[in-house]
Structure 1
Amino acid sequence: MLKKLALCLALVAPPLAADEAWDSDMGLIVYEAEENGAALFSFVNVDAYPATLVIPGLAGNYNTRGVHDAYWVGTGAGECPAFLAAPGSEATTNWGRALISFDRPAFPTSFTLTLGDCFGPLTYAIRAEAP
């Protein structure tokens, strides 16, 4: 009985976060984890350093995605006036605001990630294509 219940739950469960990955000019962008209601994506930022994109409110949302405010935290030297850390990482001065705009509400879908430095305007973009 328990085996049948586990099988049924596995068949209706939402996709695992790590199953989502996108190709971009900066390399692979991967949905790594969910923490405190936020989705955590790994990517290489335009400064060529590894970074984490933190998207509050996106955790568990696999079918009604749209435009979401976010922030990124990178490695390497930064110039922001304060330290910030992504969940599970060390604080750094290399971070900024972000906006992720999905093309369609459900995976698989491509998106555009617009980024800025520190509290500044969103000034550069990364296009991510679904497989």
Structure 2
Amino acid sequence: MESTRVDRWLWAVRLAKTRPDAAGACRGGRVRVNGRPAKPATMVSPGDEVRARVGEVARVVEVVRVIHKRVGAADAATCFLDRTPKPTVAQTVPVAARDRGAGRPTKRDRRMMEKLRGSRR
């Protein structure tokens, strides 16, 4: 049965932008193969389930075909089945509305808007 390293496979099927990114995700505990944490040298073969969070995107894929070198995007898409669950309906976020012509927001208004957005500088 054919197999390859998980970091190489993630890079080859274009789930990771670079191979060091794929290896870093493995070392950081953001890649699991068949439910177990994966090191960069963990071997994957057809039928394995790979859960990877590379960058901001979390993906759940099933290995269909093992490739060792990076190929075109169309060919890479045939090497895995995407089993990533659909995102849930996002909760509606209240929008800070101001009256037209009210002028610039005060410091208090700005802090209230930041609190609604959930961001602080």
Bigger helix fraction: 2
TM-score by length of 1: 0.28
TM-score by length of 2: 0.30
Bigger strand fraction: 1
**Larger-Rg structure:** 2
